[in-house]
Amino acid sequence: MAQLPILRYPDPRLHTVARPVADVNERIRQLVDDLIETMYANEGVGLAATQVDVHERVIVMDTSEAHDQPLVLINPEIIERSAELALGEEGCLSVPTIYDKVERHARVTVRALGRDGQPFELQAEGLTSVCVQHEMDHLLGKVFVEYLSNLKRDRIRTKMIKKTRDEQRG
Ligand code: K2U
Ligand code: ZN
């Protein structure tokens, strides 16, 4: 298991479109385990492979109360979306300290492969629904700040560039 470095917005690699996983093999299982470790280490409830500069369709999530029930979604696809929308507070490990409201489908049904390579379906609502839509955006190269106004996004971009520069200076 290893903690992986998380790309920081506005790193252009965050806008890469991930390719489908061809074979759920040992390399993919190792990636899944590293994503789970990295997610917990950063107190996230989700993490997409895109965020660690691996551009394959893999997501991990854990929206459980005790943060002890990791969910693995390989080649996820949303097969149903509710007409009902919901406004929810979002953050992102690639955009630290920034939180803002984004409108999402209130409920979604997702079909994916698990860590064992077997297909399953997940009916998600609440935080799980928000998180899976947020992570699937990552696999399409989209970061949640792109739903915000140009003014907000420009201010966030400037803040992230300064934060990264200050951290590099130590
Ligand atoms: O993609 C990520 O960086 C992980 C996000 C997932 C997430 C986004 C929006 C709403 C829920 C989860 C991080 O977990 S951001 C931290 C966080 C945790 C709980 C609620 C909101 C944000
Ligand atoms: Zn994110």
SS3 string, 67-115, reads CCCCEEEEEEEEEEECCCEEEEEECCCCCCCCCEEEEEECEEEEEEECC
Protein residue closest via CA to atom 2 of ligand 1: 92
Cβ–ligand 1 distance for 76 under 6 Å, the answer no
Cβ of 44 closer than 6 Å to ligand 1, yes or no, is: yes
**Ligand 1 centroid, distance to 64 Cα (angstroms):** 13
Query: Quick check: 25 pLDDT over 90?
Result: yes
- pLDDT tens per residue across span 36-63: 999 999 999 999 999 999 999 999 999 9
pTM value is 0.97
Helix (H) or strand (E) holding 122: strand 119-125
Which ligand 1 atom is at minimum distance from the Cα of 135? Answer: 1
Q: Give the confidence band of 169 by pLDDT, cuts at 50, 70, 90.
A: very high
Name the band, by pLDDT with cuts 50, 70 and 90, for residue 1.
confident
pLDDT at residue 34 tops 90: yes
Instruction: Judge whether residue 120 has pLDDT over 90.
Output: yes
90 ligand 1 Cβ < 6 A: yes
Mean pLDDT of 118-141: 98
Mean pLDDT of the chain: 98
Q: What is the pLDDT of residues 61-118, one digit of tens each?
A: 999 999 999 999 999 999 999 999 999 999 999 999 999 999 999 999 999 999 999 9
Name the residues annotated as catalytic. 135
